[in-house]
Structure 1
Amino acid sequence: MRGFQVKKKQFFRNFMTIMLFGAVGTLISCSIISLGAMQFFKKMDIGPLDIGDYLAIGAIFAATDSVCTLQILNQDETPLLYSLVFGEGVVNDATSVVLFNAIQNFDLTNINATIAWDFFRNFMYLFVSSTMLGVLTGLISAYIIRKLYFGRHSTDREVALMMLMAYLSYMLAELFYLSGILTVFFCGIVMSHYTWHNVTESSRVTTKHSFATLSFVAETFIFLYVGMDALDIEKWRFVSDSPGTSVAVSSILLGLVMVGRAAFVFPLSFLSNLAKKSPNEKISFKQQFIIWWAGLMRGAVSMALAYNRFTSAGHTHLRGNAIMITSTITVVLFSTVLFGLMTQPLIKILLPHPKHQSRSMTISSDPTTPKSFTVPLLGEAQDSLDDLGGQDIGRPSSIRALLTTPTHTVHRYWRKFDNAFMRPLFGGRGFVPFVPGSPTERHPQNQWQ
C-alpha cells in the first residue's frame, strides 16, 4: 500500500538521502543496538543468548514506525521532511526485514571473514532480488491491462487484478525466501506509475479509495493486535519473579534505540548537506531532530521479528525468550504512546504552522493521482510536464555539478528512457490506450494528466 501511495517524484529526488538513512543508517543502528545489548545483557540474568540472538535484537529494534509523525506532517508544507521521514521508514522496514532474514540463514556462533562476506552477499542478494521481483511483477500487471483484453471495461476485474498482482508479488517473494515487504513496496511504485494510468477512470477512483482504506484498516488492526497481545498473561508470568530485570531490559533497549538513531541521523544529514548547494534542499537541525524523533517509535515490524526469533522454542518455556518478548511489547507500547503523544506539540514548536497557506496546497489536489484526496502521489503541477519532457534539465557542466546534483541528472536520463521505451510498452500517463466507450476516453484531456 505504501508503495502505491508514495509521492514518487519527491521520493526519487531525495533518493540518495533516503537510502543513506534507510539502508546505511539502519545498519549503523543495528550494530550499535547489538553491541550495546551484548555488553549489558551479558551482565544480567536473562537467560542464554548467542551472537545470533544479539544481532537479531539489533535488527528487531532498528525497525522504525513513523506512522504518527506522517499523520501530523503535511507534505505540501514540508515536502523535503515528509519525503525523508516516509522514505526512510519504508526503506528501514525493508532493510530490517532483509537483515533479519540474513541473520536467520547463517550460523553466526563462529564469525570469520568468510562468514562475514557470505552474510554481506546474502544481504545484498535479498535486497536486490526483492526489489527486482517487485518491479517485474508491477510491469507484468501493467502489460496485462494495457496489451491484453483481460478485464477491460470492468471496474471489478481491473481493481481485482491490481490487488491480486500486488498480492502475487508478496507470495512470490515468500516462495523464493525474499523480502515480501520490499517486493510489495516496489511493485506498488511501478503499478502507480504504469498500471494505474491504464485502467478506466472509475477503476482509478475505486483503487484510490480502496487502497487507502485497506492501508488504514491494516495499520489499525496491527495496533489492536499488539494491544491485545500485551494482555496475554501467560508470557508475563515468567518475568513476574524479577520485574526489575524486565524493566531494566526495556529501559536499556529504549536507550540503545535513541543512541542508535542519533548515531546516524545527524552525521548522515551532515554528509547529505555537503552534496547540496541550495539551502532549501539542505536538512536543517530542526528537521534532523524531527527525523530522529520520528524513528524512535517501534511498531508491527519489531513485534513480528521478535516473535519470529524468540518464540521458535516457545516463549512459555524459556525465560530469556519471555523477557525479550515482553520487553519488545513494552518498548513498542511505551514508544508509540509516549513519543506519539509528544510528536504533534514537538512539531508545532520546531516547525510553526505558516500563517498563509502555500499556493501548492491548491495545485496539488490533482484528481488523477491515486491518493490525491489526502496525499498527492505525483506532487507539483509541474510533474506532468516533467514526465512528458516539457521541462528539460540541463546537463551537468562539470564533475562537481554531477556530484552535487546526481538525482537531477539521473531523473533526466530516466525520463528520456521512460518516454522512449517503457511507457509505449507498459502505458502510463500520456500513453493511455484507446478503449472505445471507456470513461477515460470521454475526456481526451485526461490522457495528458
Structure 2
Amino acid sequence: MRNNSGLVLWFTGLSGSGKSTVCARLGEMLEARGIPYVNLDGDKVRAERKNALGFSKEDRDANIQAAAEMALEAARDGKVVLVSFISPYRSHRGLARKRIGDGFAEVYVNSPLAVCRERDVKGLYARAARGEIANFTGVSDPYEAPEKADLELRTDVESATESAARVFDYLCLEAVKRAARKAGQALLSLYDSGLKGREKAYGGGPVTEADLESERVILESLGGFGIPVLSEETEDDFVRMEADEVFIVDPLDGTKDFLQKTGDFSVMIGLARGGRAVLGAVYWPTEDKLYFAMKGGGAFVDCGGVVRRLAVSSRKGPDAVMLVSRNHRLPKEIEIAAEIGIRSFKEVGSAGLKLCLVAEGVGDIYVNSSDKTSEWDICAGDVILSEAGGILRDLKGERIKYNKKDVRNWDGFRAESGRG
C-alpha cells in the first residue's frame, strides 16, 4: 500500500466457500482506488514453483511455505497481498503468521460443507467421495476451522461483494489503527518540549506544532486509499462533498489538556460512509490504549498488546457516572445531570476519550451542549460507542450525520450506555 508497509490477507476455507470470488471482488475495489495488490492462489504458487504437488500433508506444507515467502516479498514492496488457500491445518496458518509477522491477517471464509458441495462446478467433492481424489479437505481429510480469525466472512448468507466490502473496511481499520498509533507517538515525542499554543485565526481554539505534526503523519499514512480527508487542521476544500466516504480526523483532540499536561488527549480517525460512521480508532498516547471498532464487528480496546471487547455498563439514574470536561461545564449539562439524579462525576479531557470511556463502562453518560465541537470530535468515538452497545444522539434526539457541508455540531450531543 502506498506510504505503508503491505498487508497479507490470508483467506482460508473449504473448497467452494468463495475465497477466490471474494478475492476477485476485493481486487476490483483495490484497483478502482489505485491500491497496488497481488492475488495469490494455489495455481499461481504451483506455477511459480513449477511443480504439481497434490493434497498430501507434505505437499501442503511445501505449498504453504512457498505462499508465505511469496506473500512476504510482495508485502515488503508495499502491496496488499490476497492469499487464497484452503490451508486446512491450524499449524500451517500459524507458521504463515509467524513468518509474515504483524502484517498478517487471517480471514476465515466460512460456508457450510453442504453449500460448498452445491457450488462445486468442477465436481471435486463428488470425485473425492468416489475415492478418485485422496486427502481431499472436507471428505477424506479434516478442515481445522480458525479458533480466532482476524475476520470471519459468512459467504452462505452474504454476497461476494458484501464480503469483499467488509474486508476492505478491515483494511481501512488496520490502516487507521496504525496511523493513530504513529501519530500518537509523534505527539509523545513533543509532549515535554515546551510547545506553546496559539489561537486559530477563525476562533477555533488552540493549535500547536504537535497538532500539525500529528496531522502530517495521518495524511501521509492514509494517502494511499484515495479517500478524501476532513481534518481539523486543514482548510476544507469541499472535495469530500462529491464522495460517499470520507476519513474524518482530529489529529490532537484535547489540545488544552496536551498543553496543561493532564495526559488526557487523543488521536481520532473515523471513516464515514453515506453520512454514517462505519469504523474508527481513538488512541490515548499517555496510556497506550487504542480503542477501535468496525460496524457490525464489535468494539475493542488494545492496552499494551492485550485486546479485550468493550461493553457499556448497566448503571442508571443516581448510580450512573457522568463524564465532564475539566475546562468547561455548561448549564444544560448541569440541568441534565440534575434530571437524572446523578451524584458521581469524573473529569476527563478530550471528547473522544469520554466517548470511549462510556463504551468501556468507566462512565455512563457524557453530554456536550456546546456548539463549538465538530464532526472530527465524535466520528471515531461514535462507531466505537455504538458497537459497545451505547447511543450517540444530538440534543434533539437525532442521529449524527457526517460529511455535511457545515461540520459543526450545532445541536450538541449526548452519549450514554443505552442499557438498563
Is TM-score (shorter-chain normalized) higher than 0.5? no
> What band does the TM-score fall into relative to the shorter chain?
under 0.3
Q: Name the one with the larger strand percent.
A: 2
TM-score (norm 2): 0.25
TM-score normalised according to structure 1 size: 0.24
